[in-house]
């Protein structure tokens, strides 16, 4: 296939490498190139967008009038937009209503794929035949693809697990132990599910590659920027200092803030997201956040 990859951060470069090794013909674009992204879209069979979430709204609007006909888009960005409170694919489809859009998400730490280690991911779309065709075209020995018909649940799981990865980094940074971390991730998964289901996601998606799979990888690996960000917060760094130390995009903090806006709009309580945002805004300390979670009112597990 002829494939354009928009975005050349760690994930975009990795995807381009995997696809190139499969024999696909690649055209790549990055904002740092200073070139017109519309130029790389011409004569393509498929476009993959792996730009950081903050860059999606402007890029989608920029390409709105120059999108090449019926060429589908695979959105690989993870997060929730802070201004419009939408996922990446929703932003693309708002800009280009006729666009056939798919979502790629899963436990895909770029550094491991770069080393040739195997991984799996999910390709989600309401266009099920297109998803099945791209599954056959894009799967490889390095990256095995599954499909589902729940793009919104897939995207929300991939976005919200970054918030839980920040919380997991804080937990490990404070040395709270395996019991505490297992409890945190389990309650985090429930929190992710409440918001996802409210916004139209399929609960089953949460227990697949884009949900539990991605959460396990991101919340346990020092390769995860969100996890490392949480470690730095536990050490006493401000959010600004933690961003500086990592020196690359970290989607979890902005996602936590956007998730809280959506939760408040629907009278939904997300205690872990609330504590993460409190830390980011320096309204509490890591130790106070743990105490607040442990002192919450007692309740049934599935509430």
Which of 142, 161, 225, 232 is catalytic? The answer is 161
Q: Report the C-alpha gap between 42 and 31 in whole angstroms.
A: 18
For the domain that residue 232 is a member of, what is the CATH number?
1.10.1040.10
Task: Give a yes or no: residue 154 inside a domain.
Answer: no
β-pair partners for 143? 119
Shared-domain flag, residues 10 and 132: yes
Q: Report the C-alpha gap between 103 and 114 in whole angstroms.
A: 21
Task: Give a yes or no: residue 302 inside a domain.
Answer: no
Q: Report the C-alpha gap between 303 and 301 in whole angstroms.
A: 6
Find tokens 């019926």 and name the residue. 70
How many domains are there within the chain?
Answer: 2
Shared-domain flag, residues 88 and 212: no
List of residues 6+ apart from 262 with CB closer than 8 A: 80, 85, 195, 199, 268
Query: Which token pair is 137?
Result: 């075209």
Shared-domain flag, residues 141 and 28: yes
Shared-domain flag, residues 17 and 111: yes
Look up the pTM and report it.
0.95
Strand order of the β-sheet with 73-75 is 25-29, 2-6, 46-49, 73-75, 101-105, 119-124, 143-148
Shared-domain flag, residues 8 and 120: yes
Last residue of a domain, one of 117, 149, 181: 149
Q: What are phi and psi of 203, to 5 degrees?
A: -55, -30
Could you confirm whether 161 is annotated as catalytic?
A: yes
Shared-domain flag, residues 287 and 265: yes
Residue ranges making up the domain that contains 283: 159-294
Shared-domain flag, residues 55 and 166: no
Q: Report the C-alpha gap between 31 and 45 in whole angstroms.
A: 22
Q: What is the pLDDT along the chain (303 residues), one digit of tens a residue?
A: 999 999 999 999 999 999 999 999 999 999 988 889 999 999 999 999 999 999 999 999 999 999 998 999 999 999 999 999 999 999 999 999 999 999 999 999 999 999 999 999 999 999 999 999 999 999 999 999 999 999 999 999 999 999 999 999 999 999 999 999 999 999 999 999 999 999 999 999 999 999 999 999 999 999 999 999 999 999 999 999 999 999 999 999 999 999 999 999 999 999 999 999 999 999 999 999 999 999 888 888 876
Task: Give a yes or no: residue 300 inside a domain.
Answer: no
Tell me how far CA of residue 178 lies from CA of 72, 171, 181, 183, 185, in angstroms.
43, 9, 5, 8, 11
Query: Which token pair is 120?
Result: 């799996």
For the domain that residue 140 is a member of, what is the CATH number?
3.40.50.720
Shared-domain flag, residues 45 and 127: yes
């Amino acid at each position: 296939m002829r494939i354009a990859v928009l975005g050349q951060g760690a994930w975009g470069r990795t995807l381009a490498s995997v696809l190139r090794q499969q024999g696909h013909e690649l055209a790549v674009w990055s904002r740092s190139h200073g070139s017109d992204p519309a130029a790389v879209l011409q004569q393509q069979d498929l476009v993959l967008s792996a730009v950081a979430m903050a860059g999606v709204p402007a890029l989608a609007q920029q390409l709105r009038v120059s999108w090449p006909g019926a060429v589908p888009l695979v959105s690989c960005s993870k997060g929730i937009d802070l201004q419009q409170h939408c996922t990446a694919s929703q932003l693309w489809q708002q800009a280009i209503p006729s666009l056939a859009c798919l979502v790629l998400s899963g436990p895909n730490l770029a550094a491991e794929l770069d080393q040739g280690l195997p991984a799996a991911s999910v390709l989600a779309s309401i266009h099920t035949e297109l998803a099945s065709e791209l599954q056959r075209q894009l799967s490889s020995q390095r990256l095995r693809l599954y499909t589902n018909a729940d793009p919104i649940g897939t995207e929300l799981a991939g976005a919200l697990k970054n918030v839980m990865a920040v919380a997991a980094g804080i937990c490990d940074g404070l040395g709270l132990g395996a019991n505490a971390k297992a409890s945190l991730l389990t309650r985090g998964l429930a929190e992710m599910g409440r918001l996802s289901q409210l916004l139209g996601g399929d609960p089953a998606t949460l227990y697949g590659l884009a949900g539990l799979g991605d959460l396990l990888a991101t919340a346990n690996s020092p390769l995860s920027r969100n996890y490392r960000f949480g470690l730095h917060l536990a050490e006493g760094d401000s959010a600004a200092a933690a961003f500086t130390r990592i020196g690359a995009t970290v989607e979890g903090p902005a996602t936590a803030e956007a998730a809280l806006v959506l939760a408040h709009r629907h009278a939904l309580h997300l205690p872990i997201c609330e504590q993460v945002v409190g830390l980011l805004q320096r309204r509490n300390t890591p130790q106070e956040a743990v105490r607040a979670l442990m002192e919450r009112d007692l309740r049934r597990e599935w509430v």
